[in-house]
């Protein structure tokens, strides 16, 4: 499916979705859409299950700290149709939360845990949201946030 066809289909599924032009150099040629956090779970289910889309592979899930807000970024692919898409959702920096998609794509389980510990994003309804990499005592410190201060190494961004 070409990007214009994907745009048409996404607009049918979620009329509130907006599309980015240009942007991410890693995803050149990929359709990039913006969705509200409250719309994400419903759209994710449709992207995964719609027979004309079948986005069955979530291969990257990460977060970006823009100092004023956080952005969740999801890279999706269809192994059947070979089309790709990037989905972004802007989160409130003071209370970043979005629905977990670990029940839709199992690979999201560990990715969401990593973003939780590194950026402090709360993934609603995640089955096991706890630290993944950092040792006990690092809860809530979120070392990949730009306002993180490391007293030992004196790192300040």
In this prediction, residues 81-95 reach a mean pLDDT of 96
The pLDDT of residue 153 is above 60: yes
Model confidence at 85, pLDDT cuts 50, 70, 90, reads very high
Model confidence at 29, pLDDT cuts 50, 70, 90, reads confident
Model confidence at 2, pLDDT cuts 50, 70, 90, reads confident
> Phi and psi dihedrals of 16, rounded to 5?
-80, -10
**49-77 pLDDT tens trace:** 999 999 999 999 999 999 999 999 999 99
CA triplet 97, 23, 98: central angle to 5 degrees? 10
**In which region does residue 147 sit, left (phi positive, over 0), alpha (psi from -120 to 50) or beta (all else)?**
alpha
Return d(Cα 44, Cα 104) in angstroms, integer.
Answer: 8
**How many domains are there within the chain?**
1
CA triplet 129, 63, 4: central angle to 5 degrees? 120
In this prediction, residues 118-130 reach a mean pLDDT of 97
**In which region does residue 104 sit, left (phi positive, over 0), alpha (psi from -120 to 50) or beta (all else)?**
alpha
Among 150, 109, 101, which residue's Cα sits nearest to residue 130?
Answer: 109
CATH of the domain at 48: 3.30.460.80
Q: Which domain, by its residues, includes 90?
A: 3-156
Contact predicate 46/3, CB 8 Å: no
pTM (whole model) above 0.85: yes
């Amino acid at each position: 499916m070409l990007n214009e066809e994907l745009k048409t289909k996404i607009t049918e599924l979620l009329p509130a979705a907006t599309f980015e032009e240009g942007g991410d150099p890693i995803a050149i040629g990929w359709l990039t859409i913006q969705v509200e956090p409250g719309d994400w779970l419903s759209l994710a289910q449709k992207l995964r299950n719609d027979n004309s889309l079948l986005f069955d592979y979530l291969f990257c899930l990460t977060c970006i700290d823009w100092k004023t807000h956080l952005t969740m970024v999801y890279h999706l692919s269809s192994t059947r149709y070979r089309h790709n898409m990037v989905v972004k959702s802007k989160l409130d920096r003071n209370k970043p939360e979005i629905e977990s998609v670990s029940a839709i794509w199992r690979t999201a389980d560990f990715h969401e845990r990593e973003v939780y510990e590194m950026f402090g994003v709360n993934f609603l309804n995640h089955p096991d949201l706890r630290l993944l990499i950092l040792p006990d005592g690092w809860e809530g410190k979120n070392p990949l946030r730009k306002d993180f201060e490391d007293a030992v190494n004196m790192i300040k961004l």
